[in-house]
């Protein structure tokens, strides 16, 4: 023990003597009642207190900054978590509606997910994550819980492409659900319209439009949209009927492919009629 104390003394004696002298000096200053010494002591203590306060503020600011960064990180994580839960909720609600739709239909339905979309003015299409290996074939209708989306145009083993209603190449025979009037639905680059409708036909804004049983493409009564306006194409002869579709093509994600294909003979006959 003595050897350790001796070693410490010889190695650090200068520092120990300095500390001892400083302690003696502080004690002398604190006990001395001389007015000049009191003034010096007050200045020293004040400076020490100010320095301590500044150092404390710097430490506290750094600590608060670190805590704020952590809180921002936690808030960002919570935001992502909450939005993920909201997305799950939206998808769950959509899927529940689609399950309800599946239960009400007696046709084979193939569930699919939209993996890409093309919404050019002329060629609106969607790509689905199901193909021929899933039983999907060209000509099958694509729907969601709101109504008709389009028709399958091409397939591979694992994927398929559907022309949406907003595609120049897709024309359908449709029916006014109320008045039972039939017409040809097509996309004109701006709106879905029923063309060449005689003015004598009973069609009014608000009427529901569905697929007609006369169609060679989709003869099932699938909802398409609602009449929002009538325009004259040839004065005194025909109306052009503007349709607002039920399905929002830009937000289409989960869909069903209906596993039915109409008669090819009937389809070819109607396509030849459309080309006239």
Q: Which residues contact 220 (CB under 8 A, 6 or more apart)?
A: 107, 141, 211, 258, 260
State residue 125's pLDDT score: 92
Contact 223, 148 (CB under 8 A): yes
Split at pLDDT 50, 70, 90, the class of 47 is low
How many domains in the chain? 1
The torsion of the CA quartet 78, 79, 85, 88, rounded to 10 degrees, works out to -150
Split at pLDDT 50, 70, 90, the class of 79 is low
Q: What is the mean pLDDT of residues 191-197?
A: 89
Check pLDDT > 70 for residue 143: yes
The answer to the question of residue 143 being in a domain is yes
Split at pLDDT 50, 70, 90, the class of 231 is confident
The answer to the question of residue 217 being in a domain is yes
**Which residues are registered as beta bridge partners of 176?**
209
State residue 108's pLDDT score: 80
The residue with greater pLDDT, 41 or 140, is 140
State residue 131's pLDDT score: 94
Q: What is the mean pLDDT of residues 103-109?
A: 66
Split at pLDDT 50, 70, 90, the class of 160 is very high
* pTM > 0.85: yes or no: no
State residue 238's pLDDT score: 76
Split at pLDDT 50, 70, 90, the class of 128 is very high
Q: Which residues contact 250 (CB under 8 A, 6 or more apart)?
A: 117, 119
The CATH number for 194's domain is 2.40.10.340
Separation of alpha carbons 83 and 195, rounded Å: 44
Percent of the chain at pLDDT > 70 equals: 55
State residue 107's pLDDT score: 72
Separation of alpha carbons 160 and 154, rounded Å: 6
State residue 75's pLDDT score: 60
Phi first, then psi, for residue 177 (nearest 5°) are -60, -30
Range scoring the smallest mean pLDDT among 12-21, 116-125, 206-215: 12-21
State residue 135's pLDDT score: 92
Nearest to 217 by CA among 255, 258, 189, 250: 258
Check pLDDT > 80 for residue 163: yes
The residue with greater pLDDT, 274 or 39, is 39
The answer to the question of residue 144 being in a domain is yes
The answer to the question of residue 89 being in a domain is no
Separation of alpha carbons 122 and 153, rounded Å: 15
State residue 194's pLDDT score: 92
The answer to the question of residue 102 being in a domain is no
Local structure of 188: helix, strand or coil: coil
Check pLDDT > 60 for residue 83: no
The 3-state DSSP composition of the chain as helix, strand, coil percent (nearest 5) reads 40, 30, 30
Domain membership of residue 138 as a residue range: 109-274
- CA-based Rg of the chain, rounded to a whole angstrom? 40
pLDDT mean across residues, the chain: 76
Check pLDDT > 70 for residue 227: yes
The torsion of the CA quartet 199, 204, 209, 214, rounded to 10 degrees, works out to -30
The answer to the question of residue 53 being in a domain is no
Separation of alpha carbons 226 and 238, rounded Å: 19
State residue 202's pLDDT score: 87
The answer to the question of residue 67 being in a domain is no
The answer to the question of residue 17 being in a domain is no
State residue 140's pLDDT score: 92
């Amino acid at each position: 023990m003595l050897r350790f104390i001796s070693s410490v003394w010889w190695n650090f004696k200068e520092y120990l003597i300095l500390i001892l002298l400083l302690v003696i000096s502080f004690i002398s200053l604190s006990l001395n009642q001389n007015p000049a010494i009191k003034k010096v002591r007050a200045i020293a203590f004040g400076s020490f207190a100010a320095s301590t306060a500044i150092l404390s503020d710097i430490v506290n600011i750094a600590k608060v900054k670190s805590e704020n960064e952590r809180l921002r990180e936690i808030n960002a994580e919570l935001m992502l978590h909450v939005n993920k839960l909201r997305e799950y909720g939206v998808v769950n609600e959509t899927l529940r509606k689609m399950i309800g739709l599946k239960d009400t239909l007696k046709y084979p339905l193939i569930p699919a997910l939209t993996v890409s979309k093309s919404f050019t003015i002329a060629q609106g299409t969607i790509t689905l994550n199901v193909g021929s290996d899933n039983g999907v074939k060209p000509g099958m209708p694509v729907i969601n819980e709101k109504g008709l989306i389009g028709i399958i145009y091409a397939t591979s083993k694992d994927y398929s492409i559907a022309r949406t209603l907003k595609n120049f190449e897709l024309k359908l025979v449709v029916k006014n659900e109320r008045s039972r009037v039939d017409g040809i639905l097509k996309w004109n680059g701006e709106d879905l319209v029923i063309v060449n409708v005689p003015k004598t036909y009973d069609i009014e804004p608000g009427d529901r439009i569905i697929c007609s049983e006369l169609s060679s493409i989709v003869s099932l009564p699938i909802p398409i949209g609602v009449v929002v306006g009538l325009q004259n194409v040839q004065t005194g002869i025909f109306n052009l009927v503007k349709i607002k579709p039920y399905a929002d093509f830009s937000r289409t994600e989960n869909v069903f492919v209906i596993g039915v294909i109409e008669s090819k003979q009937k389809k070819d006959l109607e396509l030849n009629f459309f080309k006239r």
